[in-house]
């Protein structure tokens, strides 16, 4: 049977503007654009286009735009075009559908249904340009009590802390899933900003050991690249139990990407698939997790905080409560919109729960149980702006992880084809001529710009609420009101409805 799926996007080339310079031809790794033989004319094969906008952005005369193609099946509220196409694809291939980046489906975004408070008349707002504002946070376990020597001097019983200039960190993206230059951009930006980036489970490239102070090293189920030097190279160690984009399943970096430095960094032979198992095979209970937490603490002389990262799932409160008692210093929760280099589409789009609800309920549960001080909470999974950060902090987060927005700062246009390995922006690829498209000088500068702007906005928003320290905002749910939310949602979020 002929299996033809009409291209999802069409490239519209304005013939009056096109000067046939061929930049689009040379820049498209998917070989969409092509010079017609012996003429200056360029034609496009829409079926190969992933809508990454590389050609549209680089076209010097702005002759190219990409639009959704109008081809549709007979209208059906139940069977939409995408669903039908996916059935055709699977009927042809017999394979699992793969996708990149976060869940794009139309689920509620609770951040967009929460509004912030502002000071008026009776309580003064603060002008951040004139008065000091504190955005610094410290992540880690807080001491249970104040201890003093017999002469009254304070005993420093503070467990290891991570100081951050603002409540933002770059979330885990492995070397392998993203390129060397993308990693270097993240590392350099983190060092410049006084925050942390995360190695992901791909190990730490030897060139980046100099950014150790700004690095979180991750230990995931595949244990790739883990050795005692690695654990001690960073500022903190993260145990990855789950990922928001694909809770409950492992990872698979195809052997074609395990080349050269990646193979050395991951400590596996070239060309072999890097398969991370779904569970950690040594963790089947909180007690087992505790053993790993303390093994890692032992290996790092109890000098580095241990983070446990989990995906936001239905029983998140009970799981978080267990983790808070496991000896971990920080819990990182990844919401169902979290990104990924590759995940089965069905899992990415249907598993997990929204981070806003998970965060609110975990914060409440830990407070109720009197163990909130045992851990800091870091949340990720589609933090899109400084407003999301302010709302997350007010819901109880100590800090947020940003992944997708950081990638976008480096050039990502969210075409969601990371799994294809031919990223035209030099991010999710290991092809040398594509990797070089991301110059870390530019990448790191843009990341620094983004977070500097966000930090400025956070200060403005704190100022208008009359708050001059981010710690005062933490868990301050009175600063939030919901709009268009039902009783249950408001109850879980622990906020009032607008007007109340």
- Contacts with other proteins by CB under 8 A lie at 16-19, 21-23, 26-27, 58, 60-61, 63, 432-433, 436-439, 441-442
Q: How far is the CB of 27 from other proteins (least distance, A)?
A: 6
Q: How far is the CB of 43 from other proteins (least distance, A)?
A: 17
Helical ranges in 252-401 per DSSP H:
260-266, 286-299, 316-324, 345-350, 355-368, 386-394
60 or 94, CB closer to other proteins? Answer: 60
CA 344 to chain centre: 17
262 or 438, CB closer to other proteins? Answer: 438
188 or 337, CB closer to other proteins? Answer: 188
Q: How far is the CB of 86 from other proteins (least distance, A)?
A: 35
Per-residue tokens: 307: 């983070």
Q: How far is the CB of 453 from other proteins (least distance, A)?
A: 21
53 or 297, CB closer to other proteins? Answer: 53
The dihedral formed by the CA atoms of 420, 422, 424 and 427, expressed in degrees to the nearest 10: 80
Q: How far is the CB of 58 from other proteins (least distance, A)?
A: 6
180 or 401, CB closer to other proteins? Answer: 180
CA distances from 372 to 229, 267, 358, 388, 439 (A): 31, 37, 15, 22, 42
d(Cα 490, Cα 15) in Å, to the nearest integer? 54
Give me the DSSP letters along 171-198: PP--BTTB-HHHHHHHHHHHHHHT--EE
Give me the DSSP letters along 440-482: HHHHHHHHHHHHHHHHHHHHHHHHHTT--BHHHHTT-GGGEEE
Q: How far is the CB of 24 from other proteins (least distance, A)?
A: 9
d(Cα 446, Cα 453) in Å, to the nearest integer? 10
27 or 469, CB closer to other proteins? Answer: 27
Q: How far is the CB of 179 from other proteins (least distance, A)?
A: 14
Q: How far is the CB of 433 from other proteins (least distance, A)?
A: 6
**What b/e readout covers 405-444, taking b as 16+ CB neighbours within 10 angstroms?**
bbbbbbbbbbbbbbbbbbbbbbbbbbbeebbebbebeebb
115 or 259, CB closer to other proteins? Answer: 259
131 or 441, CB closer to other proteins? Answer: 441
d(Cα 74, Cα 84) in Å, to the nearest integer? 11
Q: Which residues contact 82 (CB under 8 A, 6 or more apart)?
A: none
Cβ(34)–Cβ(42) below 8 Å = yes
174 or 424, CB closer to other proteins? Answer: 424
Summary count for the chain: helices (H), strands (E): 16, 23
Per-residue tokens: 141: 């376990």
Burial classification of residue 131, based on how many CB atoms lie within 10 Å of its CB (0-12 exposed, 13-18 middle, 19 or more buried):
exposed
Cβ(255)–Cβ(284) below 8 Å = no
């Amino acid at each position: 049977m002929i299996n033809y799926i009409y291209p999802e996007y069409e490239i519209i080339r304005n013939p009056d503007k096109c000067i046939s310079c061929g930049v689009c031809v040379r820049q498209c790794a998917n070989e969409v654009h092509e010079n017609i033989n012996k003429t200056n004319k360029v034609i496009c094969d829409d079926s190969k286009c992933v809508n990454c906008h590389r050609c549209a952005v680089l076209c010097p005369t702005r002759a190219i735009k990409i639009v959704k193609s109008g081809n549709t099946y007979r209208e059906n509220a139940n069977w939409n075009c995408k669903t039908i196409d996916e059935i055709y694809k699977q009927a042809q291939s017999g394979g699992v559908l793969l996708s990149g980046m976060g869940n794009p489906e139309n689920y509620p975004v609770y951040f967009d249904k929460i509004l912030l408070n502002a000071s008026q008349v009776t309580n003064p707002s603060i002008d951040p340009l004139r008065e000091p504002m504190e955005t610094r946070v410290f992540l880690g376990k807080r001491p249970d009590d104040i201890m003093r020597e017999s002469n009254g001097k304070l005993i420093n019983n503070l467990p290891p802390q991570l100081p951050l200039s603002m409540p933002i960190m770059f979330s885990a993206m492995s070397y392998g899933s993203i390129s060397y230059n993308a990693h270097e951009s993240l590392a350099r930006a983190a060092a410049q900003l006084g925050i942390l980036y995360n190695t992901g489970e791909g190990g730490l490239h030897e060139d980046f050991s100099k950014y150790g102070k700004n690095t979180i090293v991750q230990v995931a189920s595949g244990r790739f690249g883990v050795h005692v030097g690695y654990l001690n190279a960073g500022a903190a160690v993260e145990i990855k139990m789950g990922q928001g984009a694909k809770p409950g399943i492992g990872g698979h970096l195809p052997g074609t990407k395990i080349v050269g430095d990646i193979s050395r960094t991951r400590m596996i032979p070239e060309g072999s698939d890097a398969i991370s198992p779904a569970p950690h095979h040594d963790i089947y209970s909180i007690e087992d997790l505790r053993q790993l937490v303390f093994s890692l603490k032992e290996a790092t002389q109890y000098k580095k905080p241990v983070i446990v990262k989990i995906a936001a799932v239905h029983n998140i409160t009970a799981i978080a409560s267990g983790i808070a008692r496991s000896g971990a210093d920080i819990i990182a929760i990844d919401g169902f919109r979290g990104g990924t280099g590759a995940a089965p589409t069905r899992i990415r789009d249907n598993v997990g729960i929204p981070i806003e609800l998970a965060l609110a309920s975990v914060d409440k549960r830990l407070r109720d149980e009197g163990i909130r001080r045992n851990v800091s909470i870091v949340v990720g999974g589609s933090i899109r702006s400084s407003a999301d950060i302010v709302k997350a902090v007010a819901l109880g987060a100590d800090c947020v992880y940003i992944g997708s927005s950081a990638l976008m700062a480096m050039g990502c246009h969210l075409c969601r084809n990371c799994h294809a390995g031919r990223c035209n922006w030099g991010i999710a690829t290991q092809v040398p001529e594509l990797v070089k498209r991301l110059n870390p000088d530019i990448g790191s500068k843009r990341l620094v710009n983004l977070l500097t702007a966000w930090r400025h906005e956070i200060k403005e928003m704190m100022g208008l609420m009359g708050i001059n320290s981010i710690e005062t905002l933490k868990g301050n749910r009175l600063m939030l009101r919901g709009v268009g939310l039902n009783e249950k949602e408001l109850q879980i979020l622990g906020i009032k409805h607008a007007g109340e």
